[in-house]
Structure 1
Amino acid sequence: MTVHPSLQTYAEAWTHSIEAISELVTPLVEGEWNRRTPCPGWSVRDIVSHIIGMECEMLGDPRPIHSLPRDLYHVTSEFARYMEMQVDVRRHHTAPEMTSELEYTIIRRQRQLRNETRSPDTMVRAPLGAEQTLELALRMRAFDTWVHEQDLRTTFGRPGNLDSPGAIVARDVLVLGLPKVVAKHAGAPANSAVVFDVHGPVEFMRTVRVDAEGRGTVDGTPSLGPLSTIALDWETYVRLACGRVRYDAVADLVKVEGDQELADAILRNFAVTP
């Protein structure tokens, strides 16, 4: 690959996950494409349509001209409407149409990555007409693709790749959302700390510190006197942080030491994905 060294990690993580998705969906018969997934409002077909659409946008393809139905309950924001467009336009595509378009899109994107010579700070297209750096765009594609790979694995009862390159990218992306969850959404008091102890295929410990002005930051150093310590396994962390499950449904998988009320507020506001 000629991709910039700082982009290599994201390119490899994306490749690993999207090839796993292709392997999961290629053998599916027509009816299996309609199965519900943990991703709110989306079927197997919808997830694959979303992935195809986002990769086509990375390739610079024009967005489809399409009017969304008014009865999509999960579309509650302009961002959701933007994402739904690539999904709804493919809702009546057959299984062979889906797998062939996915395969062709993967081939095109892999060719693009092999020939990528732009610097990481090059500004590229982002949702809703915005721009983002190429590095952020590739990071978010690696993250998004891995999360949807896990959605499909859950749907078909084929667990795996919880410690893949995409999982490490996902860890780093999700951890960035912790300060907002703790300081803003859960309202942790000033000059306090909350520790997250995650075990399983991906293990890490992070401390969110709330300063005197109520601003949160996250780091990897331990806290001597946290208000709460929240321990949970990696898969449960991902499901909560990506809004795939509510805290009440997995409370028995979470161990809390310290302020239980604060921990409950954090875990009930844990989702950081749009």
Structure 2
Amino acid sequence: MTVHPSLQNYADAWTHSIDAIVELVQPLVEGEWNWRTPCPAWSVRDVVSHVIGMESEMLGDPRPIHSLPRDLYHVQNEYARYMEMQVDVRRHHTAPEMTAELEYTIIRRNRQLRNETRSPDTMVRAPLGKEQTLETALRGRAFDVWVHEQDLRTTLNRPGNLDSPGAHITRDLLLEALPKVIAKDAGAPPNSAVVIDVNGPLEFLRTVRVDADGRGTIDGSPSLGPLVTLALDWETYYRLACGRVRYNAVADRVKIDGDPEMAAAILREFAITR
């Protein structure tokens, strides 16, 4: 047996990215595990520790009993504290320990996925003692490992897989957040439209329309008179949306047409994850 048909694309995307992560980190020497990644405050070791920890939780393993240091400036809320636990507990692990645990965890997860018979709406473990559907969990893992694969590729100067299965899942997940980013967070006025035009390995055009009540919706049809049009490449889009870079660092890669103040507000609120 295998995962439910509607979950298979998430499992396939996860496998593609997790295999890429293994290939990227296997040859690293000890010092390279300490290199800083675009993921705020995390090294290569920290990113891999996070992946191991989250996959372990999907397996139902108990969380580590560990006290976080008080001087972790980037840990500013309970969610960050939850995520940091799996990272900090491995901060002194050696390169062989990291690769061995990563490979063993992946073997177990692959076996779990091959034998998965639960329906997509089955409730499973989520961070902070909450629950989520199995579909949400697997989609989230496919998204997470692809973004962290790209973190590692950036650090190690090994670009690739910007159009992989995980990239498509990431695109769709990020686009779902755009109406809130533009209509609520950036405060686009009622009866306006904002166009996002993305080129590169993944090409797409989306319009966020804000109705008379200030609610945003998204579709693939162009707008004849948008308030703002943002044109950028896919790599810049995902890096901005995932909090890997701020707009002022990539301003030369974003073309803005329309209201400059509204564009600035949108780009200021663009990141939906860190």
TM-score (norm 1): 0.99
**2:149 maps to 1:149:** yes
User: 2:140 is matched by which residue type in structure 1?
Assistant: M
- Greater Cα shift, 59-68 or 215-224: 215-224
RMSD in angstroms over aligned alpha carbons?
0.8
Cα deviation 1:204-263 (Å, max 9, x = unaligned): 111111111211121222222211111000000011000011101101101111112111
Equivalent AA in structure 1 for residue 160 of structure 2: G
Aligned to 2:262: 262
AA matched with 1:171: R
2:80 and 2:2 map into 1 onto residues whose CA distance is 34
> 2:229 is matched by which residue type in structure 1?
T
| Matched position secondary structure for 1:177 | helix
Which residue number in structure 2 is paired with residue 197 of structure 1? Answer: 197
Q: Please say which of residues 13-22 and 218-227 is displaced more in the overlay.
A: 218-227
Query: 1:17 aligns to what?
Result: 17
Identity of counterpart residues, as a percentage? 81
- The CA deviation at 1:86 is 0.3
Paired AA for residue 101 in structure 1: E
Matches within 5 A, 1:55-74: 55-74=55-74
Matched letter for residue 233 of structure 2: D
Partner of 1:26: 26
> What is the TM-score normalised by the length of structure 2?
0.99
Partner secondary structure for residue 271 of structure 2: coil
* Structure 1 counterpart of 2:180: 180
Tell me the distance in 1 between the aligned counterparts of 2:181 and 2:78: 22
Provide the secondary structure at the position in 2 that maps to 1:208.
Answer: strand
How far is the alpha carbon of 1:51 from its aligned partner?
0.1
1:84 counterpart residue number: 84
Classify the secondary structure of the residue corresponding to 2:218: strand
Count of residue correspondences = 274
Partners in 2 of 1:78 and 1:189 — Cα distance? 33
Q: What CA distance in whole angstroms lies between the structure 1 residues aligned with 2:223 and 2:192?
A: 10
Q: Secondary structure at the match of 2:202?
A: coil
Contiguous gaps of at least 5 residues in structure 2 = none
Structure-1 separation of matches of 2:232 and 2:119: 38
Name the counterpart of 2:106. Answer: 106
Residue in structure 2 matched with residue 2 of structure 1 by the alignment? 2
